[in-house]
């Protein structure tokens, strides 16, 4: 069966599975499900892919990815920031800055990981899981096995964190609103913030989702800043060369910001918002399916324990550091 049929089918199946309560209870969104299904398809593929198959896979990993992130902006609004207060914004900023900085430094300098693996893992833990990793990929241009390794670690520890929140809630003196801020500022995926909040009560879930979406909104300036920093580093590395480094501007990020602004300024019909949400999920799921279809399990095994050690460190920082930061500022 040709790739242009298989990948859309995998994306639709992943979205359908993510909507099942028993599956969503584990905090599994359509994105990690799509990459798992894509990897399964890639391992059991009996036919040899032709040039058209490769072209369509590349189209999904590039164009569909960017379209999905742009459309994702329609689910965000600046009014959500006002609703939870300035403390939530500050906490999100501190979490993103510290987790990404420590993750990148420790990953590269201490664990001696490939630069791209360290940056992707840190970005996924700091901002919004698989979506952040895919967005960061547009700046780094890494190998697809590096993307898969980062996503695997983020999904694993994001799921572990999601199950930790209800247990922590029983032993702390935080009120429901503050605990929602804690979940939203430290959960890896939006789906995991929803599932963790639901396990406590409605107020906690609503606060957690809003705070988590604020972190997602910070993805845009993060990608732009990362692009500028990497360009400067490349220029210093190529100081002796006559070639000039060009700033890799992730233009789709401006589209993401524009759609969020439109959603903030205008009241869109519910059917339109639902349509954009589905189109975003479908586009991103196709990108993940294409990525998974060309990744082998052996790739993750070859990476060794170091990516897991880095993800473990970031998980501990998010759970404990995020708790004390939220307690202090809220």
CB atoms closer than 10 angstroms to residue 47: 9
CA–CA dist 33, 297 (Å, integer): 15
Identify the burial level of 140 via C-beta atoms within 10 angstroms of its C-beta, where 0-12 means exposed, 13-18 middle and 19 or more buried. buried
Which one is predicted more confidently, 110 or 46? 110
Confidence of residue 94 (pLDDT cuts 50, 70, 90): very high
What percent of the chain stands above pLDDT 90?
A: 30
Q: What is the pLDDT of residues 262-290, one digit of tens each?
A: 988 998 899 998 999 899 989 988 988 88
More confident residue, 156 or 250: 156
pLDDT band at 22 (very low <50, low <70, confident <90, very high): confident
More confidently predicted of 242 and 148: 148
Q: Going by C-beta distance under 8 Å and a sequence separation of 6 or more, which residues neighbour residue 287?
A: 60, 61, 64, 65, 68, 134
User: Is 260 within 8 Å of 71 (Cβ atoms)?
Assistant: no
**Mean pLDDT across the stretch 91-102?**
95
pLDDT at 93 over 60: yes
CA–CA gap between residue 256 and residue 220 (Å, rounded): 7
- How far, in Å, CA of 159 to CA of 224, rounded? 28
pLDDT tens, position by position, 213-265: 888 888 888 988 898 888 887 766 655 554 544 555 567 778 888 898 998 89
Phi-psi group of 141: left, alpha or beta (phi > 0 → left; psi -120 to 50 → alpha; rest → beta)? left
Query: pLDDT tens digits, residue range 172-205?
Result: 888 998 999 999 999 988 778 877 887 888 888 8
Q: C-alpha angle 19/23/27, rounded to 5°? A: 95
Kindly report the average pLDDT of the chain as a whole number: 85
Out of 140-154, 158-172, 232-246, which region has the weakest mean confidence (pLDDT)? 232-246
Burial level of 5, CB count in 10 A (0-12/13-18/19+)? exposed
Average the pLDDT over 291-313 and give the result: 80
What H or E segment, with its residue span, contains residue 91?
Answer: helix 86-105
Least confident of 5-9, 27-31, 46-50, 135-139: 46-50
């Amino acid at each position: 069966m040709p790739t242009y049929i298989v990948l859309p089918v995998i994306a639709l199946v992943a979205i359908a599975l993510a909507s099942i309560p028993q599956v969503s209870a584990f905090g599994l969104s359509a994105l990690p499900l799509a990459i798992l299904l894509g990897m399964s398809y890639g391992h059991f593929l009996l036919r040899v892919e032709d040039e058209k198959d490769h072209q369509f896979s590349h189209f999904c990993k590039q164009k569909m990815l960017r379209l999905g992130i742009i459309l994702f902006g329609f689910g965000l609004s600046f009014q959500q920031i006002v609703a939870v207060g300035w403390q939530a914004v500050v906490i999100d900023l501190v979490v993103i800055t510290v987790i990404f900085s420590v993750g990148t430094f420790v990953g590269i300098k201490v664990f001696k990981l490939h630069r791209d693996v360290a940056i992707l893992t840190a970005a996924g833990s700091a901002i919004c899981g698989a979506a952040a990793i895919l967005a960061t990929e547009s700046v780094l241009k890494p190998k697809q096995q590096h993307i898969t390794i980062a996503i695997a670690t983020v999904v694993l520890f994001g799921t572990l964190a999601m199950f930790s929140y209800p247990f922590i809630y029983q032993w702390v003196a935080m009120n429901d609103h503050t605990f929602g801020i804690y979940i939203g500022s430290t959960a890896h995926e939006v789906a995991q913030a929803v599932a963790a909040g639901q396990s406590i009560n409605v107020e906690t879930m609503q606060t957690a989702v809003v705070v988590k979406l604020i972190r997602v909104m910070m993805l845009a300036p993060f990608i732009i800043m990362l692009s500028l920093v990497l360009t400067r580093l490349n220029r210093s590395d190529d100081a002796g060369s006559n070639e000039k480094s060009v700033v890799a501007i992730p233009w789709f990020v401006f589209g993401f910001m524009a759609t969020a602004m439109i959603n903030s300024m205008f009241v869109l019909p519910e059917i339109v918002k639902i349509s954009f949400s589905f189109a975003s999920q479908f586009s991103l799921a196709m990108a993940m399916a294409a990525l998974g279809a060309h990744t082998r399990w052996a790739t993750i095994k070859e990476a060794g324990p170091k990516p897991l050690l880095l993800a473990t460190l970031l998980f501990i920082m998010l759970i404990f550091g995020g708790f004390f930061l939220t307690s202090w500022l809220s």
